[in-house]
Every structure is written in C-alpha cells, then in structure tokens.
Amino acid sequence: MEFHDNYPQYEIMSNHDEAHGKKSRRTLWNVFWVMLAITIFELIIGFLAPSKGWSGTLGLKTLFISLTIAKAAAIVWWFMHLGHEVKFFKYTILMPYIIFIVYTIFIVLTEGTYAGTSGHFTKVDPIFKKQQEALKSGHHGGGEAHEQSSAHEATEAH
C-alpha cells in the first residue's frame, strides 16, 4: 500500500462528497424507473402480442431489440459508470466488441438463411434440398442422415 512514487491513486479518485453523492443517487434512481417502465411496457406488449396478431412481426422484433439495446446502454453507461470514464477507455471497451458482434450477427444470420428447412424467407441451398428430397423418398443410408430425418419428423409431429 505504502509504495511512494508519484503514480496517481485512481482507486480514491472516484470518491466524492455528500453533495455529489446526492446528485448521482438521483440520476441512478431515475435510470432505474425508466428501465422498470421499459420492462413493464415490454411485458404488456408481449402479453398482448398473440391476441393482436403481432407475434413474430418485424415491427415487434425491432421494437423489442431496440428497447433491449436501450436498457443495455443504460446499464453500461450509468450503472457500470462507463459514461464517466475517459473517452479513450470507452472506445477501447466498446469498439472491438461492437465491430465483432455486428459482423458475427451478419454472417451467422446470412448462413442461417441458407441452412433452413422451410419457410417463406428461407433460401434453401440446392444441394441441401436435393439431400432432403432423397431422404424423403427413402434412399437414406443410415448414420447421421437417419438421425437428421428423425429430428425432422419430431418437429413435424406437434
């Protein structure tokens, strides 16, 4: 602890007095109420969605995902205090993550579109389609293909 050089003690730099504490407590509670309101709103929408026919619509997905990102941003910015760190640190934390995740979402959903079994938005890979037709007509050679077809049947049974 008693290591005397002039290196700044960042551990105590974020300490503050009562006046500052009062201000930051107010901010934190406000963030909490907003997050609670968003969650209740999401639940009401989620509760109403099946009867109103909103389930699975693009609008609903967009709404839920943007509200989620808003909540996540609030947690990172105020609760995790990233908003008060220096700019360079913010970028060091956020940028690599955002770039990587956005790219992964893009590439996995692109690939997922081709790996589908059916559905109006699914572009079925021609080779995959051929395999599926072969499986359906009964010319499958056991092993993995066999399991695949049984999994396929399981999904159709309900």
Partner 1 sequence: MSHSTTHVTEFDAKEAWSGGQSPFKISYGKMMMWFFLISDALTFGGLLISYGFIRHKFGDIWPKAEHVFTHFPFIKQHIPLAYVGFMTFVLIMSSVTMVLAVEAGHRMNRKGVIVWMFWTIIGGATFVGSQAWEWYNFIVGTDLFTSIKDCTDQGHIRTFFDHNIGETVTRHIHGANMVVNEYGVPQFANYFFFVTGFHGFHVFSGVVINFIIFLNVIKGTYEKRGHYEMVEKVGLYWHFVDLVWVFVFTFFYLL
Find the binder of partner 1 among 3, 4, 6, 53 (CB under 8 A).
6
Interface of this chain with partner 1, residues 88 to 147, rule: CB under 8 A:
88-89, 92-93, 96-97, 100-101, 104-105, 108-109, 111-113, 115-119, 121-122, 146-147
Please write down the long-range contacts of 78-84, taking CB distance under 8 Å and 24 or more positions apart: 78/27, 78/28, 78/31, 79/28, 79/31
Closest approach of Cβ 149 to partner 1, in Å? 9
When the beta carbons of 47 and 133 are compared against partner 1, the nearer one is: 47
What number of chain residues touch partner 1 (CB under 8 A)?
82
Which two tokens mark 100? 């990587």
Closest approach of Cβ 83 to partner 1, in Å? 10
CB atoms within 10 A of CB 33: 9
